[in-house]
Structure 1
């Protein structure tokens, strides 16, 4: 009996190992499971020696599935000269979104970023990516291309490829974040021209793509407002997920002997989290003899670090620099409570939501948006608005009481498994087979 012929996919992504950070995980994992579902997967990405990553994680290289063919290209990277202009060594998170807008140098760089490099500084990869993509598509007889962003310059690459190749290719756009509605967009100092150009490009991508994927219902609603030319069924919500393989090493790990409340990831000043630390401060005051500890692993703004120490006391606080992904999993497993902190009114569902659930630990989510619904469905914890401090204190106290009585927390595993990457890859294959 002849074997079924494999369909071929080209995924175009800027962030790929050894890049670190949350943006890498989605297609690193999806390509792994698509390859197991009889798809031949190719990945086009930037040469890591030319790229401007804000975080590197060399350990992720071993997670690339051996069946995935990875193609690297050159790139022109203005972010690599950013440090010499503003006197900082590291590439800023989310492009230039976290620069100190009070300094004249940073204001200058922000204006250059937003008005010279549209939609973002990674547009310097465009000509190299298009040339190599056309080559790969022809040589490998590719039938589907998937472009994933941010950076949204990757969607401009997809737009030009679709214009060149027309109906011979099925173009799927994957938005991990909004474009002109991203929560830090107002910090980018766009001129009227650059804002209109971003809006135009966003609209063209939405209208030209054959299919669109995004990660939350909130994001889907934002994109549907951008044009009257697309219907709701063109945009598919396929959330992020977790990989059960990542939890094999830590499946027998026990939580800390202390009542450990942890956050893993990045927190900026605009996350508006003071209420949470007011509640934790009250918990410590009510329970002076309890071994309560707060630990943050990742990138935390200096202002927020100072606030946390003032609220909780230095003896209750630990800050740890970003760690490789596997160590982040271990940090989740050692906690009793995992904090999910989301900027207000953004519709963001952080990728860590699903790894938090897979860890089996209790989750406290600040903000009742899309993430809150998922946590409720999976019975994985509780969510609180920023005006519900008393309710949060009560929930923390109940959780501490469970800790003292050694009552284990249990979520709804039957619902949690629906957020595994192999499950999400099957949803992708359904889209691919529609064309």
Structure 2
């Protein structure tokens, strides 16, 4: 079977499943999620063995430390994925929720009700956990899912998908509710981007190359998830101990994720007290610092930052550092180089905190907290299918509500329009 026919077959099956999923009971969906969770833990040894194949291939192909971290699974990460499925099962079902009801002058009762989007196509890179998160959120929100992971994680994804698909069908979900594209042929993505008849929305999740390819070439509507060139700005009136801890967490807690900090901006009046100690601590954690000329006065043996450093999402133990003259300079820098993902200010000045919240254009804006909290589970969504940096339909971590649309239901008593 050629790639086009293979993809159409997937689309037909998903469309058929989506029709049933739109009205399937909450109990059935929740039972399926619990069964999927239990199956993941039960098959963890097999999943880890398949993941090790991907890790070995990644190392042999020179994959960066950050991407290897995204790819790697262990028992805890599998247990976290399993718990994520249970968390989604505990969340309220958005489907059928009446968000508003009113009467018009003709006494028609008009209601606005949440409904599924239909078939969601997901294209992503080396993150096996996305297979589980996407499946969970799509199922709970009544959508069928067609998942296309990257070739770097093909063995892991197949093992995970086969595990949860079998459990979901046995628990009562229609066949085709969750499907994985098992080929690594790039043509599958090209076909997927044109399957308007079968796929209602595409969500790309990964690096800028993948996202821009989908945005520019897809005829299927796209929700653009974010490249994370995230900033932390340390204000002149910051608690410096707090600032140091936030910076360390935002940069090093997990480097290969989109909500990790990539650029540190420091007010000139805070630089002398903050940077020498912070610089040594970052270096001790293996972070390479690429700084402006002034930064070099406070941190020894740094790499001189270039224009490219200000716009780069490293996903690695590399940090760009720039000293700025004011909060306005910091916000100007973020406006030019930010990707509208997550931005943070550390300050005890209320006016500056409110200016930062009001004037910085990003999906998530923080005062005195790490950017690492931009995450569906941390926001109480159970999981996320991605973090949208666009403004149409969805923005920020996309949970169940963001995977729904609406329809209007109208009750009449024989009214006809005059």
TM-score (structure 2 length as normaliser): 0.36
Higher Rg of the two aligned structures:
2
Higher RCO, Cα 8 Å, sep 6+ = 2
